Structure 1
Amino acid sequence: MIFYFKFGKEVNVTVDGGTCKWLRYLEEQGIDLLNENHTEYVPNLITGDMDSCPPLILEKLKSMGAMIIKTPDQDHTDYTKSLFELGIYVKKKNVKLNRIYVFADTSGRFDHIMGNINTLYKSDKIIEESIQVIQLANDSLTWVLRPGLHSIIIPKILVQNNSWCGLLPIGAPVNCIVTTGLKWNLNKETQLQFGSVVSSSNTYDNCSEVTINTDSPVIWSMGIEPLQKNINNYISSNT
């Protein structure tokens, strides 16, 4: 299930079987989308190869205003294809995106997890580079830090609970990276590379701001379990 957000107003996208998960989630909130007049919850766009979503549901949502785009190309994952289609959609609708939040499971099949990471790395070639794509799972946030200086505001509850965070050089080494605000900071002499050093199981040094200056793309991932009940307060934080 994937949702994308723009300034002040949402652009919602569901992907194939994620559409059914969205309907079940709404039912848990007491909203029967298919039988009630709640058009504000109808996805703007539904994409995927459509092998996991019943045609009757798709037809009903289409009649309620959803745009259905079948993407059978097997050279890309549904996640990647949905970003392509979102890019086309926002250009056609003249929508200005601010940030993209992707609700994606990070448990289960390792190849799916790595496929999601691969899409994160490719996202700047699919969507404007200035638009941050952030994966949100039950207990973590994950995104790519592009070369340059980044400042991440950490909620106090995560600092107080010594929540985990990590910097992972997936795909290529990071030759120069400098951090502040972490319990185990990295300096210019540190090279991140699989088979050598990676910054996993790190945490915060009693600090509400982490800075990261990197010469290469690197994955930033952080635990958010203490925030689960208050997640809406965090996803508006600056990255």
Structure 2
Amino acid sequence: MTTVLRSTELKHATDRDSGELCPFYSSVLRLCLRPFSLPPPPHRAEERRLGWLRVPSSARNLSQNSIKVALSLRYSFEEVKMLWRTVRSMDVMMHSSSFLLPKLHRPANKSVKNYALVVLNQHLPRYMPRLWDHANLRICADGGANRIFDEMFQLTNDEDEKSTRNRYIPEIIEGDMDSIRPEVKLFYSSQGSKISDKSHNQETTDLHKCISRIHHSTPEHEKHNLCVLVTGALGGRFDHEAANINVLYLFSEMRIVLLSDDCLIRLLPKTHHHELYIESSIEGPHCGLFPVGAPSTNTTTTGLKWNLSESKMRFGSMISTSNIVQSEKVTVQSDADLLWTISLRNLA
């Protein structure tokens, strides 16, 4: 039910003496030319906890037909914070694929991110040594350890396979341990890798287990600068691919990039506006943008050959595929979570 702010009810939202309003309502007053549906009034303790902002006398005199606001503070503090995030201006989230550049070629003027690398049980991409060098933490998801053990030597210029194996040691091997070979597990354990056996947990995938570990072990103040790179997430069985994409949604507050030899995929959450800085020497020009799980009724882009302008997208109708990047910066705004994918060049 929509509650209309009446002059007799203003006292519930404002201080009687100062005419001040809590932060949530001051934002709503600036935006509410359409109905807002919220529950009834609060406890006094909740009023005191939220603090106050002054409301101009002109705002208190606006007609009840032009202000449709809720009068309740019965929301818990967390719920109020969620509403506040939707009312305020959206933050910009910036994305770059500079982790695919050799360290020597990384632009000096770009901030250095904290990278974690997760290796799944698929063939390693040809640029794997670059990812390894960029990462501060390397986790093999179960059989991913077999891939490092068997394939890393072929991707380096090393002359001795044994020295290569001794050099590329993951910090952690995580999963239900149904794919890793016994001799591989023994080798990495002897080299100091932590073996995290989660065979008791069959409710989540190995990738989910790895991302959950990274999420819980990263200090809160470092999470905004963390980017998780995942190899082996694309290709192979489609149900595995779908499960890996689902992890992007389960941990939508984290920056996670799924990588193959041919392309990368990342989630663009609807909670932000997005700026994608294109590294044209290593990625593009082909790209795609589409919603999964829920349709988009309003998506706008810049920097593409076929830009979207307040466009609707959903499966069974229009989605943006085989598009072309035409600028060093692509921007995306949408009312739905979108998957962004871009082709990768022949990286050595």
TM-score range, shorter chain: 0.7 to 0.9
Task: Look up the equivalent residue of 1:202 and give its one-letter code.
Answer: N
**Structure 1 unmatched ranges of 5 or more:** 230-239
The alpha-carbon deviation at position 38 of structure 1 amounts to 6.6
With a CA cutoff of 8 Å and minimum separation of 6, indicate the structure with the bigger relative contact order: 1
Which residue does 1:153 correspond to in 2?
277
Partner amino acid for 1:43? P
- The partner residue of 1:23 within 134, 149, 155 is 149
Which residue of the partner structure matches residue 290 of structure 2? 168
Q: 1:87-116: per-residue Cα shift (whole Å, max 9, x none)? A: 34445xx97662111112422321111111
Change (3 A) 1:182 1:196: same
One-letter amino acid of the counterpart of residue 202, structure 2: Q
Larger CA Rg, structure 1 vs 2: 2
* SS of residue paired to 2:151: helix
Match of 2:24 in 1: none
- What is the alpha-carbon distance in structure 2 between the residues aligned to residue 108 and residue 26 of structure 1? 20
Q: 1:31 to 1:68 in 2, by over 3 A?
A: farther
Report what 2:240 is aligned to.
112
Deviations 1:55-75 (A, max 9, x none): 232122122111111122222
> Is the CA contact (8 Å cut-off) linking 1:139 and 1:228 kept in structure 2?
no
Matched, 1:102 2:191: no
Equivalent-residue separation in structure 2 for 1:85 and 1:2 (angstroms): 11
TM-score by length of 2: 0.56
**Alignment match, 2:118:** 2
Per the alignment, in what secondary structure is the counterpart of residue 47 of structure 1? strand
Corresponding position: 1:74 with 2:202? yes
CA distance in 2, matches of 1:90, 1:207: 34
Q: Which amino acid aligns with 1:123?
A: F
How far 1:9 sits from its partner (Å)?
Answer: 5.5
1:221 aligns to 2:341 (yes or no): yes
Q: Aligned with 1:186: secondary structure?
A: coil
* Partners of 2:152 and 2:164 within 8 A in 1: no
Superposition deviation, residue 83 in structure 1: 1.1
Secondary structure of 2:212's partner?
helix
TM-score, with structure 1 as normaliser: 0.79
Q: Secondary structure at the match of 1:185?
A: coil
- The C-alpha deviation readout for 1:96-137, integer Å capped at 9, x for no partner, is 66211111242232111111110111123xxxx2x4111111
1:84 to 192, 196, 212: 212
Deviation per CA, 1:190-209: give whole Å up to 9, x if none.
111111111111112x3221
1:193 partnered with 2:314:
yes
The residue identity in structure 2 corresponding to 1:20 is N
8 Å CA contact retained: 2:265, 2:340: yes
After alignment, is 58-67 or 179-188 more displaced?
A: 58-67
- Gaps (5+ residues) in structure 2? 1-116, 120-130
Query: CA distance change for structure 1 residues 37 and 198 in 2, over 3 Å: closer, same or farther?
Result: closer
Q: What's the RMSD between the two structures over aligned residues?
A: 2.9
Paired letter, 1:199: S
Larger mean Cα displacement after TM superposition, 215-224 or 24-33: 24-33
Q: Check the 8 A contact 2:118/2:229 in 1, yes or no.
A: yes
Map Cα deviations across residues 172-227 of structure 1 (whole Å, 9 max, x no partner): 11121110011111111x111111111111112x3221110112211001111x25
Code of the residue aligned with 1:15 in structure 2: it is A
Corresponding residue for 1:52? 179
Amino acid at match of 1:154: I
The residue type paired with residue 143 of structure 2 is: G
Q: Deviations for 1:24-44, whole angstroms, at most 9, x for unmatched residues?
A: 2222233767x5497552111
Tell me the distance in 2 between the aligned counterparts of 1:18 and 1:32. Answer: 21
Alignment length (residue pairs): 216
- Structure 1 residues 108 and 59: CA distance shift in structure 2, 3 A: closer
